[in-house]
Structure formats: C-alpha cells, structure tokens
Amino acid sequence: MGWLQRLFGMEKPEDAQVNPEPSLVAEDSGEESIAPERMGLNGEYDQSGLAKRVALAFDEDSSFDNIDSLWVAQTGSTVVLKGSVPDRETLDQLVAIASEVTGATDVQTDQVTVG
C-alpha cells in the first residue's frame, strides 16, 4: 500500500504531480493563485495539499515502500513527520525529499523516533 493510500485513503490521481503548476482561483473580480502549501496533486486548492504532495514524493521512491509507521501532516507550510523510522539515514532522506516539495518551508521531525 502506497503512502497516499495509507495516509489519505486515495489512489494516485491521473497526472498527479509533486510540484504541479497552480490553478488560478477566481476571487471577487480578480484571480489569485493558490498558496503553494495549499496546492493539491493537480494544482487545485487542497487544504492538505502539501502533505499529499509529500506523500506522493515518498511514493515515487520505492526504497520507502516498506515504511508503514510514519505519517505526514502539515501545519501551514511546515511538513510534520510523526511516527518511527528504522534509522537516521532513512529519516535524513525523507526530510530531504520533503524539503524539495514546493511550498515546504520546514520539516519538523521532533515527533519521529529512530530505531
């Protein structure tokens, strides 16, 4: 089971992207772009967009397929990782991947146990 399925109960949508181009949202008379941390898998508005795109990024690397004790959340533009990972190297790799997702300004790992 992939990260998107396990964390959000959804299959990977067709054309889903880790860093999609944002759609424009009509607001009053003008148009405004979606905040990067609220951008969904296809560039649409999604309250949990950043967390879903991080999960998609983890899904795209098969070396993380066996990790089922880590969860991804977001607080604004901060990616929050919770749970456990087998070793520090794995955690460092996950943090590096999450940091590269558009809209992520920080990755919080104080709720992750190693080992």
Residue type (1 letter), 10 = M
Q: What are phi and psi of 84, to 5 degrees?
A: -140, 155
Average pLDDT over residues 7-33: 78
pLDDT for 27-77, tens place per residue?
Answer: 554 567 889 999 999 999 999 999 999 999 999 999 999 999 999 999 999
Nearest to 57, CA basis, from 15, 97, 103, 89: 97
Altogether, the residues listed in the chain come to a count of: 115
pTM: 0.91
Outline where the chain has alpha helix (H): 3-8, 49-59, 88-99
